[in-house]
Structure 1
Amino acid sequence: MPYTPHQVVKPEVLASTAVGMLEQELVVPSLFQREGIDQFRGADNDTVSVPVEGVLPFHDYAFRNDRTNPIEFDVYNERKVAVTFGGNVYSAVKVTDEQNDFDLDNWSKLLRPQVKAVARGLSRRAVGVLTGQDYAVTIGGAEANLRRALIEARRVLNAFNLPASASRYLLVGSDFEAALLNDDKLTLAQNVGDSAADTALRQATLGQLYGFSIIVDQTIPSDAAYAFGSSAFIMTTAAPSVPQSVAFGSTQSFEGYAMRWVRDYDPSFMMERSVVNTYAGFREVKDVLVGWDEGAGKEVVSKQEHFVRGIKLTLDGTSTYPAAGSELATITGVTAPATEPAA
């Protein structure tokens, strides 16, 4: 039998390939604002503060007044959204000598299911943050009139001052997707842009409608949809460092995702061990709001932070809006419309 030379494979090459596989598995995390590892090094309590621009009201000073009253001064505070690493998502596998010699053609074959497992872990964590959010507005009964419900979603996000220039997503469950596709009153534009080419996100994108990129995901409630901006949620990943005692290991980053892969050998059991892992953290972004006090004739800034970068829609059920007289309703003007959007 002729001798076949061994092929030396560098861990950096395989790890980089593995991260590419990871990116293809992620849909919901791809819609989150992503932060990397560098700013977390040495962070207190494993927490990094992502800065959010502060808000200031404007004032009027009467033209040619008698100067008996001074101008008003405000205090500027740049807010910070604290994101804490709260998870270490991993996949660990042991491979015997026999498996390595007779069953495993190459290590990329093993890396693929390991990375997919890590990807599902990240996706489940992201979905948990998104679906577990306390939404200020829920548009219920959308199936009765999907067009009106989507227009109402756009109206609410506009009233919440979510910039029209920002990417807006409508993430839909499988039943919500079917309702959209079966509605002959809706026509989805198919131009999703080159930025989503050849990714899982492109495959999951149905099209565009009323300023939303409509994306389907099988892991959220099937009868629900979530309309939100690209900055509504933050996701952080960080690849743990490779220990000096490990000869075969690498850390890589791809499209904002970071991970580590290490391999070693346990001679006591004649097994090779492969571990893929990443640190991860998730967080919603709340805002200080600016509104107009008609009675006082001046701008007002909310005393509390509110999550207004996203809302929820359901095929059935009832709608919920901020209570009349509440700070959120007073500043944004968002209350239940006289006619329910899905009526």
Structure 2
Amino acid sequence: MPNVFEKPTRVVDTAIGLLLREIVLPRIVWTNGIGDFAGTLNDSVTIRIPARTKARRRELRATGSARNIQLDNLTETKIAVELTDDVYNAVPVTDEELTLDIVNFGKQILVPQVRAVVEGLEDDIAKMIQSAPYQTTIHVGTGDGATWEAYVKARKTLNTSDVDMGERTLVGGAAWEAALLTDPQFVRYDHTGDSNNTALREAKIGRIGNTEFVTSNALREGEAYLYHKSAFIFANRAPLVPKGAVYGATRTEAGLSLRAIQDYDAMTSTDRSIVNSYAGYKAVEDPEEGFVRGVRLLLTVTFIEVKPGAATIAAAATQQLKVFDSNGFDVTASCTFTSSATSKATVNSSGLVTGVAAGTSTITATYQPVTGGSTVTDTCAITVTA
């Protein structure tokens, strides 16, 4: 069967269109007002973020000087954003593969490449959101109404800092979705008669209060963030298509810009297919208040799981243990480890087990949740062979 070749522009358009059903974060962070990076110092541009200001009051039907209003200077926050990363995926395709193995180059090669790059961009946005210098972290219990109570506290925190009430989003991982779906204050969009399913296509599964909740698999299960869109900046540019490329295309859609190019290396009889994007990320700190446009919410930890749960190693060999909490967080670095038989196996503070002599030992991981809840433990059974 002959190979199917499609225009790169069409393939990239199709691939991004399909991914829009799954990729969430680029659409709920600030991408407005980002100008051209070409020729700028250090690949950096300065953009303007909407200003925050306070409401004032005067007595109704006041007279004299009491009728005077006070003017406030409305100053937009200027933020420098630098393109720091070239997120890419490159694959070789030999003449033999092209002739004998590949039926549709677009579907078999370009579409997986686009997916890889777009998921990489979303993962980086998630890291930006997770690592922002939050002034407020709210720990959420497991009782009835706990998620609503936490949302009210987070909303109050933003209100106290005079963060604009419009364009706020609550985004969270899978455990947060599960918790909200059982909260009577949560309004599911699939129960509201949205005939076009617009919200569902954008991963907006519903709202709590007047805030939309968006599920993102790029976030850990038990974390959520309530923030104004201007709290995070995502700068993204598609590189130009070089004149030497045999095929090339760029595409911008829903805050994502990508380039796909192909060329041929005659010395190795190999095609090279490259998809990439330039990106920069910035959490917005206001000049005086600091980072106040977002609040972090963490679900209570109810148990931990040691992986692997059992292992067999030789004497002097090692096995690294990983510990995850009930919300999917890797908490290995926050655990303490003990061995029930140090003459058979030892374990260090990082969870690295070392075989000593033939026999068995139980390794216990202990974790004290940052929420202040009860200490939780789990074990791994280690068998050491001679």
Structure 1 residue 315 and structure 2 residue 299: aligned? Answer: yes
- Structure 1 CA distance, aligned partners of 2:140 and 2:180? 14
Instruction: For residue 255 of structure 1, report the CA deviation from its aligned partner.
Output: 2.3
Structure 1 residue 157 and structure 2 residue 155: aligned? Answer: no
Structure 1 residue 130 and structure 2 residue 129: aligned? Answer: yes
Amino acid at match of 1:149: A
Higher relative contact order (CA 8 A, sep 6+): 1
Q: Is the 8 A contact 1:18 1:108 kept in 2?
A: no
C-alpha change, 1:46 and 1:196, in structure 2 (3 Å) is: farther
What corresponds to 2:384 in structure 1? Answer: none
Amino acid at match of 2:175: D
CA deviation string 1:17-58 (max 9, x = no partner): 333344344212221122587521222110111113567899
Matches within 5 A, 1:269-288: 269-288=268-287
- Structure 1 CA distance, aligned partners of 2:125 and 2:95? 37
Structure 1 residue 178 and structure 2 residue 178: aligned? Answer: yes
Gap runs ≥5 in structure 1: 65-71, 289-303, 318-343
Instruction: For residue 162 of structure 1, report the CA deviation from its aligned partner.
Output: 2.1
Structure 1 residue 213 and structure 2 residue 212: aligned? Answer: yes
Instruction: For residue 285 of structure 1, report the CA deviation from its aligned partner.
Output: 1.8
Q: Is the 8 A contact 1:233 1:283 kept in 2?
A: yes
What corresponds to 1:340 in structure 2? Answer: none
What corresponds to 1:85 in structure 2? Answer: 83
Structure 1 residue 27 and structure 2 residue 47: aligned? Answer: no
Instruction: For residue 307 of structure 1, report the CA deviation from its aligned partner.
Output: 1.3
Q: Is the 8 A contact 2:27 2:255 kept in 1?
A: no
What corresponds to 1:43 in structure 2? Answer: 40
Q: How many pairs align?
A: 290
C-alpha change, 1:154 and 1:78, in structure 2 (3 Å) is: closer
Q: Is the 8 A contact 1:36 1:256 kept in 2?
A: no
C-alpha change, 1:25 and 1:104, in structure 2 (3 Å) is: farther
Amino acid at match of 2:162: N
* SS of residue paired to 2:92: strand
* SS of residue paired to 1:98: helix
* SS of residue paired to 2:17: helix
- Structure 2 CA distance, aligned partners of 1:234 and 1:248? 32
* SS of residue paired to 2:20: helix
C-alpha change, 1:115 and 1:228, in structure 2 (3 Å) is: same
Q: Is the 8 A contact 1:36 1:237 kept in 2?
A: no
- Structure 1 CA distance, aligned partners of 2:230 and 2:117? 24
Name whichever structure is richer in strand by fraction. Answer: 2
* SS of residue paired to 2:180: helix
Instruction: For residue 12 of structure 1, report the CA deviation from its aligned partner.
Output: 2.6
Q: Is the 8 A contact 1:142 1:313 kept in 2?
A: no
C-alpha change, 1:100 and 1:253, in structure 2 (3 Å) is: same
Matches within 5 A, 1:6-25: 9-25=6-22
Q: Is the 8 A contact 2:82 2:280 kept in 1?
A: yes
C-alpha change, 1:84 and 1:195, in structure 2 (3 Å) is: farther
Matches within 5 A, 1:103-142: 103-109=101-107, 110-142=109-141
Q: Is the 8 A contact 1:25 1:120 kept in 2?
A: no
Amino acid at match of 2:16: V
Gap runs ≥5 in structure 2: 302-386
Instruction: For residue 81 of structure 1, report the CA deviation from its aligned partner.
Output: 0.7
Q: Is the 8 A contact 2:188 2:207 kept in 1?
A: yes
C-alpha change, 1:243 and 1:216, in structure 2 (3 Å) is: same
* SS of residue paired to 1:231: helix
What corresponds to 2:257 in structure 1? Answer: 258
- Structure 2 CA distance, aligned partners of 1:54 and 1:215? 25
What corresponds to 1:246 in structure 2? Answer: 245
Moved more, 152-161 or 75-84: 75-84
CA deviation string 1:133-157 (max 9, x = no partner): 1111111134342222112222222
- Structure 2 CA distance, aligned partners of 1:106 and 1:36? 39
RMSD: 3.4
Instruction: For residue 114 of structure 1, report the CA deviation from its aligned partner.
Output: 0.3
- Structure 1 CA distance, aligned partners of 2:298 and 2:154? 12
- Structure 1 CA distance, aligned partners of 2:71 and 2:172? 45
C-alpha change, 1:212 and 1:180, in structure 2 (3 Å) is: same
TM-score, with normalisation over the residues of structure 1?
0.73
TM-score, with normalisation over the residues of structure 2?
0.66
C-alpha change, 1:36 and 1:78, in structure 2 (3 Å) is: closer
What corresponds to 1:325 in structure 2? Answer: none
- Structure 1 CA distance, aligned partners of 2:208 and 2:74? 38
Matches within 5 A, 1:62-73: none
Instruction: For residue 115 of structure 1, report the CA deviation from its aligned partner.
Output: 0.6
